[in-house]
Amino acid sequence: MKLAKKKNNFYAVIMAGGTGTRLWPLSRKEKPKQFHRFTSNSRTMIQETYERTIKVVPAKNIFISTTTNYKKLVREQIPDIKDDRMIIEPLARGTAPAIALVAARIRTENPKAIVTTIASDHAIRNEEEFVSALSVALAVIGKNPEKLATVGINPVFPDTELGYIKMGKEFTVENNKRIFYIDAFKEKPDQKTAEKYLAGWAYLWNAGYFIFSAKTFGEWTKKLAPKIHKAISEIEKELNKRKADIKHIESIYKKLENEPVEPKIVEKLKTTNRLVVPSEMEWSDVGNWGSLFDFFRKNLDSSFIVKGNHIDAGSRDCLVYSLDKLVATVGLKDIIIVESDDAILVADRKKVSDVKKIIEKLKEQGKHLYL
């Protein structure tokens, strides 16, 4: 009974407002990657995320944070989520305002709420470890609401596209998992530094999941991000009214700057208030076509990844993703080919992070129909 009561204070918010442009030409502003079936033939990434999340917290305590543009897609893909379980940003303003809004919305419902934010566009093979790590993090913050926790993934290769967490001393043990203080957050490293991180036991990939007391997060925002706090406080007052003025909320939110939560709030917390749960999650942020290739290669034990209609003669270490047309390849190595209705991407597998340069050029040339 006590455990059930505690779980009623545990909430999860699936963050689904991003645009995922590095998976262009399929992931676009109109329909970003979380709404695509990149890692499954039957479910989109947000649908997979929702199915994992209902194993962590009660279904009634799951919210989805997204922007006005994607409200319809969320309704279509997650029909179990009702309108009162959607936290709508009038427009994207980064994770600092978004999570501050999340905390405000949930503490109006439950001042004792412990919240975990969960990315809507990650791929995870060992679902049980996802459930275990987040359940432990929620339990630890439930006992220590003055602290913030995150989940750190044990790195399996020297990734230069991810941020890292440097662990400090051990804080406690919960359900056979060791929890550590966070000494520092490290930005995306160069190759040599990433190799150093991989060799050292203290470094973890930063999965970007944050677990906190909704009330405490409001206090941190007031102290560390006063402009955001002022705006969210006005919005919170509006939300507490019997009938909130949505247009007024939008006008307040639009004035905020676009800011990520890590440098704005999380990295400014005292090290004694920052915790990490190391995890053996078989995880990918599916940040670009190369990471999708790596995810499938390990999962399928194959060096040639194909989705769609394809024939080949003598190619290897490639990914071919075709929605409609037959794609034929001959003698290729380390190539990514992605075919969509109106665009085709052909890229060196080791340079797919540079797809962002294509996005920049499309903007410069006014080719907005392709964004």
Domain 2-284 matching CATH 3.90.550.10: the answer reads: yes
Q: What is the pTM of this model?
A: 0.92
Which DSSP string do the residues of 98-143 spell out, in sequence order?
Answer: HHHHHHHHHHHH-TT-EEEEEESS-EES-HHHHHHHHHHHHHHHHH
Residue 3's pLDDT is: 47
Average pLDDT per run of 10 along the chain, which is 371 residues long?
64 91 91 92 94 96 94 95 89 90 92 96 94 97 97 93 94 94 94 92 94 96 94 83 79 88 94 96 92 84 84 93 91 94 93 92 92 91
In DSSP terms, 277 is beta-bridged to: 151
Q: Which two tokens stand for residue 277?
A: 């749960």
Residue ranges with strand state E in the chain: 10-15, 62-67, 86-89, 114-119, 123-124, 148-153, 164-174, 177-186, 203-213, 274-279, 283-284, 304-307, 310-313, 318-322, 327-330, 335-339, 344-348
For the chain, give every domain's residue range.
Answer: 2-284, 298-370
